[in-house]
Amino acid sequence: MHTLEELLALRDRLVEAGALVGQSDHGVSKSLYGHDPDGIEFEIMWAVPQTAWPEEAFTAALDLDAELAHWAGVDTADQ
């Protein structure tokens, strides 16, 4: 994903399909977890700009709407 807006759009599609199984904040990335029709779980993520990476790794609940307020329009494709 290049932008958090793209991740948010995919979250909505996963919810509509009944395929969203989780979402996590990893500090360096914002991740969604889904399952395909065969039940195989997959991850879709957006990379946080490297200059904002935390010093220590963590996993926390993801509030994607709050993150969007902070990262709106940030494209990390060229990192």
Query: Each residue of 12-38: pLDDT tens digit?
Result: 999 999 999 999 999 999 999 999 999
Q: What is the pTM assigned to this prediction? A: 0.90
Provide the pLDDT confidence category of residue 46 given band limits of 50, 70 and 90: very high
Compute the distance between CA of residue 60 and CA of residue 67 in angstroms, rounded to an integer.
Answer: 13
All residues at 6 or more sequence positions from 62 whose CB lies less than 8 Å from its CB, including other chains: 23, 24, 25, 30, 31
Q: pLDDT at position 77, please? A: 87
